[in-house]
Structure 1
């Protein structure tokens, strides 16, 4: 009876079903994208790009109000511009790309907040920063599902050279333009993924669903493909738990989803089969006994 009560919102309410479908789509794409970002040691770069969507979303909001389509397109080009500017600065100067990316994302974040604060309201600003997956309408759902489908399709096409470049950049350099193109396309996919996540979780929470399950998965499996699948499963589980918690305990949906992913990460850190605290403790004990 208690189990039926807990799952009842998905059966009774259309907005909960739309939120669930959107989160499943985001979970499927977050697993592989997040896992590759972790493998390439680009976790913080992903965080920077997630914040870079805000000025574009703010401009889209000023032009068309809460139109997911307009805001999504504007957010995509905003984040892409920040990534291109950071790459250009690092290629023209001695500054590392992570430093230039941090500088541009802070500028973009401040610009987006200023635009919304001047022309919008505190409610609009909170919506853009923290999202509202429970408010996703049919157009927003199509946008999230479409963006996720494109990301998965292109990722499948560039998967082999992308993995080769992640493990051995010098080997991939032998492919010339093809190798560089796969890396550039991957950054475009990262931007598109954050645009899809932003529609539901906001610019500040989007990186949580993308990175936390991917980081947690590395405590359980070594193979990259298995890590991608596990990360997607953990992201979907986090989203389902977060949605139910937000409904039953009146919590904001985005933070509830990310906190659920955080609990899964902490559990993986403590109990995972690879490099977790428990695994390191058992390894140390075996060494002492030997």
Structure 2
């Protein structure tokens, strides 16, 4: 019974194996980015950028239909354009960065939905908004794996200045000029991973596998390396369990993955050993002199 429910789907069906491989690749790339977003108090920026890629992907869809490279290139261009525009508006006006991003992402979401609706059908719109990881082909899987590998390599290169800039940006500015480069490179990695997640989970859910595992990790570890490890593990677990849930029920695969991750997040809030609710209500006894 356990074998039929948890293992057999991946042994018997190639599309399930592809989906699981995609989840692992997405988890390895997106989860560490999510940890840094949370550390830098930029979680909502990730959500805004996820919506910002939609017009570019929609233009790619308008020109080439559901073409992988056209939609990926369009999403990357739109994401970088919104990030640059929001930065320019923030610097030349009194508007804060979060307010600027919120304005651009709302306009981007509306524009993207309009473009897809004009060109395609409701099914196409659902595919763009919520993805379909079970339809992952070899070409898309290779792109997802390449982007995840690129993310890990670049993150390793900028790791030290990124950590320092996240904790004490003023100190980094006094001893090095690497802070701005690390910040811009990090924003580029955010866009790349959101486009990566867009291929599998759609625009509205792509940020879920980035932010929720990071939130889970925050309740189980105080160290950055521990948080990254737990975030990646919880993302992979969420993906695996979500695929199984989707296979056994009528729940779409993308929402199933995010729902499982949300359940793990609630469990972490309650039972996490770092400021979890139960841990605070029943603290461990301290040694008495």
The TM-score normalised by the length of structure 1 is 0.96
- Give 2:38's aligned residue: 38
Give the SS at the match of 2:219.
Answer: coil
Counterparts in 2 of 1:194-273, with a 5 A limit?
194-273=194-273
Separation of aligned partners in 1, 2:153 and 2:191: 15
Q: Retained in 1: the 8 A contact 2:131–2:254? A: yes
Is the 8 Å Cα contact of residues 29 and 147 (structure 2) preserved in structure 1?
Answer: no
**TM alignment of 1:12-161, pairs within 5 A:** 12-161=12-161
Contact 1:69-1:139 at 8 Å conserved across structures: no
Aligned partner of residue 207 in structure 2, secondary structure:
helix
- CA drift at 1:65: 1.1
Matched residue of 1:75: which SS? helix
Structure 1 unaligned regions, length at least 5: none
The Cα shift of 1:286 comes to 6.2
Shift of 1:6: 2.9
Partners of 2:216 and 2:231 within 8 A in 1:
yes
1:154 Cα deviation (Å)?
0.5
| Aligned equivalents of 1:177, 1:189: Cα separation in 2 | 19
Retained in 1: the 8 A contact 2:55–2:112?
A: yes
Match of 1:192 in 2: 192
Count of matched residue positions in the alignment of Structure 1 and Structure 2: 288
Distance in 2, matches of 1:276 and 1:30, equals: 24
Answer yes or no: is the 8 Å Cα contact 2:11–2:17 preserved in 1.
yes
Distance in 1 separating the partners of 2:3 and 2:268: 25
1:127-174 Cα distance to aligned partner (Å, 9 max, x none)? 000000001111110110111111111010000000000000101112
1:174 is paired with a residue of what secondary structure? helix
Cα distance in 2 for residues equivalent to 1:180 and 1:145: 28
The runs of at least 4 aligned residues of structure 1 exceeding 6 Å deviation read none
For the aligned residues, what is the CA RMSD?
1.6
Q: Are 2:22 and 2:145, in contact at CA under 8 Å, matched by a contact in 1?
A: yes
Q: For 1:113-139, what per-residue CA distance to the aligned partner results, in whole angstroms no more than 9, with x for missing partners? A: 000111111100000000000011111
2: CA distance between counterparts of 1:176 and 1:92? 25
2:5–2:244 CA contact under 8 A, matched in 1: no
TM-score of the two chains, using structure 2 as the length reference = 0.96
- 1:175 CA displacement: 4.5
Query: Residue 9 of structure 2 aligns with which residue?
Result: 9
> Cα distance, 1:238 vs. partner?
0.0
Instruction: Please list every run of 5 or more consecutive structure 2 residues that lacks an aligned counterpart in the other structure.
Output: none
Q: Please give the alpha-carbon distance, in whole angstroms, between the structure 2 residues aligned to 1:209 and 1:269.
A: 17
114-123 vs 274-283, which moves further: 274-283
